Amino acid sequence: MAEKRRSGTTSGMSEVKPTKSDGDREFLTQTGVGELIRGALLKMVEAKSEDPIGFLADHFCNLASVSDAGTAGCGDGDQLNDCAGAQEQQQHLNRALWHLRLAHHSQRCAFSNNVQVAYDLLSHTGPRRFQSGISEGSEGSCNSGRTGGGVRGSLYTQTLQCLCSEGGVPASTSAPLLRRLHCQDHEAVPYDLFRHGVLTCAVFSDYIRQAQKLYAEVCCPAEKPASRALCLAVLGTLQEALETSRGCDASHCANANTKVNSCLETNLKASRYLEASAKISPYKLAQAMAGARTGGPGGNMDAKEFENAAAELFITRVRVVS
Amino acid sequence: MTAKINRFNLTLPVDEYLETGVLFYLNDAVTQLLEHKEEYTQFGVVRYFAEYFSSVKNSNHVLFREYNYIKATPHNRASFIRVFWRCYRQIGKSGDLLSMLEYTSLLQLLCPDFPVDLVQNTARIILMDDAIDCLMSFSDFVYAFQLQFYYQEFLVSVQAIYQDLLSGKSPNTVIVPTSTSIEQLPPVTTEENESQEQEGRVDPSTLAEYIDCLCDRFKYSHPPRSCLREVLEQSDKVSYYSFLMSLAKHDTINSGIGALPNKSELLVDPEMDQELDKLISQISVSPGSNSSGSAVGALKEVPRKASPRRNIHHRRKMEVESDGSTEETDSSEN
């Protein structure tokens, strides 16, 4: 793609100044523009962001700040290293978060790739002298990724916190989730756990946003809080749906080692998910809400309580990281 | 960008995704880089691309570029309209009425090869094709200009349809098989139409149907059909320029383009007001003192500065400062 566009440029130029196009081509090769654009295009096509120009602007700005930081920090003493180390860590965190934002978690392939990149970024953060001591080893692990030193617990927790708050989840709501997922500050987090944590937080953010929208729908007359009975009915259907899909997970775990049944499992899984989504269908929800109108506890439930209750339904299903 | 991308068309094929205009900008970025190698590689190519795309994102990329570039994408056109407004809204505040040639000069300060005929067409919209040497207010001009520039291809087609209707021919926009074929459309020439045509007006509903057919297959941007219909439903007969003027003033069309605020906020510019107040207060301090002398001196030095960007900034201030050039005129604001 870069070649196609590049040749388009140079052929355009060659109509006017034939001798200049060779010089241009050489210039582009020398400065590495082709590679740069190829990389940018690949990333952009993978992400298929709603705003391709904004995406490219962010992408190049990121790259530029990295190369600036790289040239700035070399050859410092130990004391300066710690300061630079902290800044560098923050930069790595920002970049990792940027990568994680690129693709929605439903785009499994792209999302997994981005998690991998973010993991690699974060697992090579640390004071420069420590890194330089094991530089050969870390270069080797760069390629394999998963056998690297792992992400430090504190950085991992920070990443999850940022993901939740960027996803629009207030800190109080995400706190119980993070308690289940977090690791000790000094621990090294392996890739699988990192991925699990990131995915859980991404899904959780979506879930909370949906719950907020759901609440907004339920309490249609805008200012008043919604009736408790209605909210409980809605939460009830949510819970039922989650239970149904959970049943599928349990059976899946039990058969984890049986390869023969894997096809059967996939079908079972699919049907469970369909069942679960049927439970949360508009019709079911309307039924539950109509039922709630006739009876049930009185009083109101405000947005915060609803959100916390919905969050709890989700969080109880998250396995605790030990 | 021409195509709308959202999370739900993630399965959009790569070619279509790229056709949303991004390749155009990549192409231009590389071309510009090749034309200004020394200047743009000063801080490295990565930084160059970062700045190029940031400026595209922030709509700052069209300033001083050639006409072919600024008209190349809808985003560029909207950005240029916005830049024009931001640079010159103080003219609106001062209440100056300018001629078509003066507006042309202002436009050419921002885009050296901006064509005069586009400005002429804008003047025709405002002045209803009548005495286009008359002076125009900034507010009238900017909205008419927006319509003319952003939807120029659409307006050309509409004018062709209009002319055909006026001369009794069937406009040949209806070529592709749509639900409204030529046979089904109302006959163009009726008694009523004939008298209207003598006045230079056509039946709005006929025009609406032909424009609808045009929109079906039109590959360039056009105003939302609902707005077009709404405008045409408002009167029994419509002349081309009155139709265009109504479109220019239409709030929904304006917010759809997204370049200009509503008319009530068009002249609001608090930062500039502050800056000017500061300048004026400096100057109104006694002329013998150093501070005002330096302020006046700074203003006087302005035209000699080399960079074209500076010229715009200071010319703007100077235009507001000068008070002698406003001409009395009896042309009413349309």
Distances (CA, A) of A266 to A243, A246, A272, A277, B211: 18, 14, 10, 16, 53
Say what the pLDDT of residue A85 is: 67
Name B238's bridge partners.
Answer: B202
Residue of B nearest to A46 (CA): B14
Name A300's bridge partners.
Answer: A227
Token couple for A121 = 């970024």
Interchain proximity A9–B25, CB inside 8 Å: no
Interchain proximity A50–B23, CB inside 8 Å: no
Nearest Cβ partner of B50 from A12, A52, A64? A64
Could you please report the per-residue DSSP string of B114-173? --HHHHHHHHHHHHTTS-TTS-EEHHHHHHHHHHHHHTHHHHHHHHHHHHHHHTTPPPTT
Interchain proximity B25–A5, CB inside 8 Å: no
Interchain proximity A33–B20, CB inside 8 Å: no
State pLDDT tens for residues B59-83.
Answer: 999 999 999 999 999 999 999 999 9
Say what the pLDDT of residue B83 is: 94
Torsion of CA B222, B228, B231, B235, to 10 degrees: 120
Nearest CA distance, A55 vs chain B (angstrom): 9
Give the least confident one: A290-304, B96-110, B192-206: B192-206
Nearest Cβ partner of B30 from A6, A51, A56? A6
Say what the pLDDT of residue B294 is: 46
User: Could you tell me how many CB contacts below 8 A there are between chain A and chain B?
Assistant: 92
Nearest Cβ partner of A31 from B25, B45, B54? B45
Residue of A nearest to B15 (CA): A45
Residue of B nearest to A13 (CA): B31
* Helix, strand, or coil (residue B34): helix
Chain B partners within 8 Å of A41 (Cβ): 18, 26
Interchain proximity A13–B10, CB inside 8 Å: no
Chain B partners within 8 Å of A57 (Cβ): 50, 53-54, 56-57
Nearest CA distance, A179 vs chain B (angstrom): 31
Most confident range, picked from A146-160, B85-99, B312-326:
B85-99
pLDDT tier at B198, thresholds 50, 70, 90 = low
pLDDT tier at B157, thresholds 50, 70, 90 = very high
Q: What's the complex ipTM?
A: 0.71
Q: How far apart are CA B166 and CA A230, in angstroms?
A: 63
Say what the pLDDT of residue B190 is: 52
**Amino acid type, A55:** F
State pLDDT tens for residues A77-123.
Answer: 455 556 666 767 777 787 788 788 777 777 777 788 888 888 888 88
Nearest Cβ partner of A50 from B6, B45, B57? B6
Give the least confident one: B175-184, B226-235, B303-312, B319-328: B303-312
pLDDT tier at B283, thresholds 50, 70, 90 = confident
Q: How far apart are CA A126 and CA A183, in angstroms?
A: 18
Among candidate residues A247, A250, A253, the one with its CA nearest the CA of residue A273: A247
Token couple for B89 = 């809204």
State pLDDT tens for residues A210-223.
Answer: 787 777 777 665 55
Phi–psi pair at A301, nearest 5 degrees: -125, 130
Contact present, B27 and A4 (Cβ < 8 Å): no
Q: How far apart are CA B106 and CA B120, in angstroms?
A: 14
Give the least confident one: A4-18, B128-142, B279-293: A4-18
Interchain proximity A53–B41, CB inside 8 Å: no
Contact present, A110 and A103 (Cβ < 8 Å): yes
pTM over 0.95: no
- Interval B164-185 mean pLDDT: 60
Token couple for A52 = 């391709």
Interchain proximity B44–A64, CB inside 8 Å: yes
Interchain proximity A28–B7, CB inside 8 Å: no
Helix ranges, chain A (H): 2-16, 18-31, 33-47, 52-72, 78-101, 108-123, 128-133, 135-144, 153-166, 171-181, 191-218, 228-254, 262-279, 282-294, 303-315
Residue of B2, B8, B16, B45 to mutate, interface with A, max A Cβ within 10 Å? B45
Residue of B nearest to A5 (CA): B27
**Amino acid type, B124:** R
Phi–psi pair at A193, nearest 5 degrees: -70, -40
Residue of B nearest to A68 (CA): B47
pLDDT above 80 for A152: yes
Say what the pLDDT of residue A180 is: 82
Q: To the nearest whole number, what is the mean pLDDT of chain B? A: 78
pLDDT above 70 for B299: no
Please report which helix (H) or strand (E) contains residue B98, including its range: strand B97-98
Residue of B nearest to A24 (CA): B34
Interchain proximity A52–B1, CB inside 8 Å: yes
